[in-house]
Amino acid sequence: MTISRRTALQVGGIGAIGAAALTVPLTQAQASTPSTLALRNFPKRFAVPLPIPPVLAPKPSPDGQTSTYYEVTETAGSAAIVPGLNTPILGYNGIFPGPTISVNKGEPIRLKVRNRLPLFHPSWGHVLDTSTHLHGSASLPQYDGYANDLTAKDQSKTYHYPNFQPARTLWYHDHAVHNTAQNAYSGLAAQYHLHDDDERRLLPQGKFDVPLTVTDAMFSANGKLSYDDKTQSGLWGDVILVNGAPWPVMRVQRRIYRFRVLNASISRSYRFALSGGGPVTVVATDGGLMPVAQTVTSWRHAGAERYEILIDFSKYAAGTRVELRNLSNKNNIDFDYTGKVMAFDVTADPVDTSGPAATVMPTTLVPSTAMSLKASDAVKTRHFRLKRDLNIWTIDGMTWEDVVDSEYQKVLADPDYNAVEIWSFENSSGGWYHPLHIHLVDFQILSRNGRAPFPYEKGPKDVVYVGEGETVRLLMKFEHHKGRYMVHCHNLPHEDHDMMAQFSVGYDAGDYDANDPVYADPAKYD
């Protein structure tokens, strides 16, 4: 569905109301668009430079433990997003996106998260208990941001992140039970980069390695974020932000750049493409490098998916503006400017060709455990239906409430430790898509409706787009840790109501679990 501001103006009544009334509607964005900002406060396209979030510096370890130590504080903050107004946000260190954490493979870290948020959300009133999930990390269950492992106001929790996996783009975001959507939407989200030798050898680094966190938002007339999830179906804003800035523009040299594209929108999915239809080379998926780079002209990108892409700007003349656009997908709500994301201005600046992949696209990359698995390795196949039952979203009939009611014991599946299994997820609805996320594992997409996955999906994944009428088959190994982990839809209003379940690796019902996700290492007052 496309709702055009121009169409709404015509229908809503230039003729009917008459010219005298025009001064009133023209001062505001149309009611048919979700933002109610005055036009002078509605952001212009390509008017602000792309901001790059700061990289978090480690701190001295408070207790002599050797692993690198970081701290972030969740606080209310204020952001300059729409011209002329301040937008109250919640952020890690008060900013959105939060600070990027950049680490090396083999370097375990601890991250202390301090909750200094207001007790109640200033706009929506819920209690601001939080749980921090590092999405893309095989963390122990008690450090995985389990939805009910909550950190209350004035408490803190020190998370342990192992960083033994291959290089990848991860992100940390709030995962508080029933409030993940509003908390992440308010700003509790940030990228986390895990580097290794393969990626340093093959892909652009430093200022040519650029995070792009894409979100959408809607604003009230006073600049505050507004929230409308259409009866828990999803939120589709009319303003597109990249790294927290509306439709920004980035100046680029005529060489290859690497972009870490994270869709941190709580519901919206995108179909990204460049203006002019130019090629984009996908080199990494959620779980890191693909075996072979894939060149595409557009790709479908749901919430929480990460695609690392390379764009060769030497193919464009200096002075060219290349837009990153959104061709959209079924069951999104589009507005006048949601087809635009950001722009790259190709400059005549001297070209720095130092470092890997500055001028030549890499082709063969590296294998990974997930992509080396064979379907014949699987010892079990399980099938799960994603659907709406009586106004509640469910995974094979299970909700998170069922898990809570069972004292966190009820599970959707109980694979053996190190078992390889095939999990298939079926969405037989034509009315919605579900970005399905499985914690702990990296999986390989075997098929979608019996066909090969899209070329850009041929890498290790932890979120899969389960589109309308689609069934996906996923192959994965339940390695690294035993314990209980969440599996859920990453359309966050779906997740919160109540499309989330859990699975247990390596335990039988009643076994003692030293890594209990709620009780093993709870938050403390500090």
Question: What residue ranges bind ligand C2O (CB under 6 A)?
Answer: 133, 135, 173, 175, 304, 437, 439, 486, 488, 490
**434: partner contacted, choices ligand C2O, Cu ion, none (Cβ within 5-8 A by kind):** Cu ion
Other Cβ atoms within 10 Å of 501 Cβ, number: 22
d(CA 267, CA 332): 8
491 binds Cu ion (CB under 5 A): yes
CB 120 to ligand C2O: min, Å: 24
d(CA 30, CA 28): 6
**458: partner contacted, choices ligand C2O, Cu ion, none (Cβ within 5-8 A by kind):** none
Cβ proximity to Cu ion: between 393 and 408 the closer is 393
Cβ neighbourhood burial of 449 (10 Å; 0-12, 13-18, 19+) = exposed
497 binds Cu ion (CB under 5 A): no
Cβ proximity to ligand C2O: between 132 and 281 the closer is 132
| Binding region for Cu ion (CB under 5 A) out of 104-112, 150-158, 246-254, 481-489 | 481-489
CB 421 to ligand C2O: min, Å: 19
The secondary structure of 289-330 as a DSSP string is EEEEEEEESEEEE-TT-EEEEEEEGGGS-TT-EEEEEE---T
Cβ proximity to ligand C2O: between 105 and 490 the closer is 490
One-letter identity of residue 458: K
Binding-site member from 131, 494, 496, 504 for Cu ion (CB under 5 A): 494
How does strand 249-252 pair with strand 340-346? parallel
Other Cβ atoms within 10 Å of 345 Cβ, number: 17
**488: partner contacted, choices ligand C2O, Cu ion, none (Cβ within 5-8 A by kind):** ligand C2O
Q: Could you tell me which of 235, 301, 233 has the C-alpha nearest to residue 270? A: 301
Q: Could you tell me which of 455, 433, 468, 461 has the C-alpha nearest to residue 297? A: 455
255 binds Cu ion (CB under 5 A): no
As given in the structure block, the two tokens for residue 20 are 């005298």
CB 135 to ligand C2O: min, Å: 3
CB 155 to Cu ion: min, Å: 22
Residues 132-151 contacting Cu ion, CB under 5 A = 135
Q: Cβ distance 324 to 344 under 8 Å?
A: yes
CB 291 to Cu ion: min, Å: 23
Which residue bears the tokens 């900013």?
Answer: 95
**484: partner contacted, choices Cu ion, ligand C2O, none (Cβ within 5-8 A by kind):** none
CB 495 to ligand C2O: min, Å: 7
How does strand 256-263 pair with strand 209-219? parallel
Cβ proximity to Cu ion: between 439 and 458 the closer is 439
195 binds Cu ion (CB under 5 A): no
Cβ proximity to ligand C2O: between 198 and 401 the closer is 401
d(CA 331, CA 238): 15
Cβ proximity to ligand C2O: between 113 and 280 the closer is 113
Binding-site member from 441, 489, 492, 500 for Cu ion (CB under 5 A): 489
**260: partner contacted, choices Cu ion, ligand C2O, none (Cβ within 5-8 A by kind):** none
- In Å, how far from its chain's centre is CA 88? 21
| Beta-ladder partners of 49 | 249
As given in the structure block, the two tokens for residue 438 are 């499985």
| Beta-ladder partners of 174 | 132
CB 394 to ligand C2O: min, Å: 16
Burial 258-272 (b: 16+ CB within 10 A, else e): bbbbbbbbbbbbbbb
As given in the structure block, the two tokens for residue 401 are 């409430």
CB 411 to ligand C2O: min, Å: 16
Cβ proximity to Cu ion: between 258 and 439 the closer is 439
**Closest residue to ligand C2O, Cβ-based?**
135
Residues 417-436 contacting Cu ion, CB under 5 A = 434
**491: partner contacted, choices Cu ion, ligand C2O, none (Cβ within 5-8 A by kind):** Cu ion
Q: Cβ distance 96 to 140 under 8 Å?
A: no
CB 416 to Cu ion: min, Å: 22
- Under DSSP, the state recorded for 88 is E
**239: partner contacted, choices ligand C2O, Cu ion, none (Cβ within 5-8 A by kind):** none
Name the site residues for Cu ion (rule: CB under 5 A). Answer: 135, 434, 439, 489, 491, 494
